[in-house]
A and B are shown apart, each in its own frame.
Chain A
Amino acid sequence: MGQRTPLYDAHLAAGGKMVDFGGWDMPIHYGSQLEEHHAVRKGAGMFDVSHMTVVDVAGADAEAYLQKLLANDVARIAPGKALYSGMLNDKGGVVDDLIVYRREKDFRLVVNCATRDKDLDWMEGRSAGFAVDIHERAELGILAVQGPDARQRVAEVLGGKRGQQIGELGLFNFFEAGQWLIARTGYTGEDGVEMILPGEMLPDLWQQLLDAGVHACGLGARDTLRLEAGMNLYGNDMDEGVTPLEAGMGWTLVFNDRGFIGEEALTRQKEHGHDQLVGLVMEGKGVLRAHQKVITANGEGETTSGSFSPTLGVAIALARVPAGSTGKADVEIRGKRQPVRIVRPPFVRNGKSVFKDL
């Protein structure tokens, strides 16, 4: 038996099909992954992501420490704003990717569940010389509510001042109310919020949102939604042997001579050139999967994530290919070459196809 979130019983009651996910018993779907996917694209769906790890970083040197620990620069955001960043090793490889929320007096990080132990070790190990307190908040749960109607539904359920604040919240901004942190962030390519709150309060919130017509969605739909949104999955699209430059995360790198971990290696890699992460769209029938061989005019690469796209009705993938690969390519599926187009992700934003040919 794996670890359980405070919503375990609620998942079973909703018909959740439970699977092991990084040591946690989590719902993969509640009957139909496709229906859940479309619910988020067209209405509102919610995901229990309480298996993810919340870590608070406080102390006089918290900012200086995170400026070194993270490849994106927390000094660029004011309190009340969130930032996506990689946490890199000395070779520039991605130890994990995370969201950092800058609060008034400290920072809150949300990191992946499967990497929890190594992340906490890594963070502790880099803290020498900094006056910081790194403190896991295992008692907090996270609920993501996503979709064009998501903020409206959540605002109705919460009502009052919180409801009003959700309506006015800017992208990648957050506010706190008591022990709740409500952020306009997500992993689906739709509008919505992610709410961090005490775990024991999750079941009531879950039930109220169900009653308000929010669809329960499993990790299966979360994966197809994030892939359509062109968002990376740690362990698939990047890991410790892959740098942000090779993983479509160049936009998260801030080089300003502050000396973040991995900066030197990345600077060298920028000079020497590197593979790139692109999108693939299949022309015919079939389904792209991770670890299929990609043959481009510039050489061979490999898919890192792939699936059928429920929104587009064709297979899509993220793939690491040699620099400068454009136009058409072939993917080898069960020994046969299938034609694909090389595109610039994301594939889908706000319910619409948005990819462009490279």
Chain B
Amino acid sequence: MSNIPAELRYASSHEWIHLEQDGTAVIGITEHAQDAMGDLVYVEMPDVGAELAAGDEAGVVESVKAASDIYAPVAGEVIAINEKLEDEPELVNNDPYNDGWLFKLKVSDPSELENLLDADAYAAQLEAED
């Protein structure tokens, strides 16, 4: 069974999002997503300052075998990207929920997170996909 932390919210496209106290949010891809991709070798990030709508393409993760788009789970302005991933994309494989985070958003409307899956619902989706 894949690791699905209870304190995060999830998009059906396998991103996780964590809302911080200050209204910013950290986004990454799930343990399941990194496992399905295999060894990551390149991460294409959004530009800092970019305004994204929920569901917008925010970047691309590429493994040896495939490329997969990353989508913004909620609307917001990109305020930071994980620059370590430029040289160490494998951080996403090794630690998808911590050191392997992708980018941070200043969330436009925190209530949008309510539209996302909680850990149980995401687990149920994975089960259904299996």
Contacts and interface: CB of A to CB of B under 8 A. Distances in A.
Contacts of A33: 38-39, 63-65
Interface in A280-314: 285-287, 289, 307-308, 310
Contacts, number: 39
A32 B39 CA distance: 6
Interface residues of B, number: 12
A220 B89 CA distance: 19
Nearest to A37: B64
A93 B41 CA distance: 35
A304 to B, nearest CB: 16
A113 B38 CA distance: 25
B35 to A, nearest CB: 9
Contacts of B63: 33
Contacts of B120: none
A224 interface: yes
Given A29-B38, A33-B39, A285-B86, A220 B64 contact: yes
A235 to B, nearest CB: 16
Interface string A196-230: 00000000000000000000000010011000000
Given A33-B38, A220-B38, A334-B60, A286 B65 contact: no
A287 B42 contact: yes
A286 B64 CA distance: 11
Interface string B36-58: 00110110100000000000000
Interface residues of A, dominant DSSP: mixed
A224 B67 contact: no
Contacts of A223: 65
B80 to A, nearest CB: 19
Contact of B39 (A34, A285, A315, A334): A34
B99 interface: no
B65 A28 contact: yes
A307 B60 contact: no
B77 interface: no
Contacts of A287: 41-42, 62, 67
Interface in A249-290: 285-287, 289
A28 B35 CA distance: 13
A42 B62 CA distance: 25
Contact of A286 (B38, B39, B44): B44
Contacts of A334: 60
Interface in A82-100: none
Contacts of A34: 39, 41, 64
Contact of A308 (B44, B60, B64, B86): B64
Contacts of B41: 34, 287, 308, 310
Interface in B64-90: 64-65, 67, 86
Contacts of A286: 42, 44, 62
Contacts of B38: 28-29, 32-33, 220
Interface in A21-54: 28-29, 32-34, 37
A28 B86 CA distance: 26
The 10 closest A-B pairs by CB, nearest first: A308-B41, A34-B39, A287-B62, A33-B64, A287-B42, A33-B39, A33-B38, A308-B64, A220-B65, A32-B39
21 contacts: A29-B38, A32-B39, A33-B65, A34-B39, A34-B64, A220-B64, A220-B65, A223-B65, A285-B86, A286-B44, A286-B62, A287-B41, A287-B42, A287-B62, A287-B67, A289-B67, A307-B64, A307-B65, A308-B42, A308-B62, A334-B60
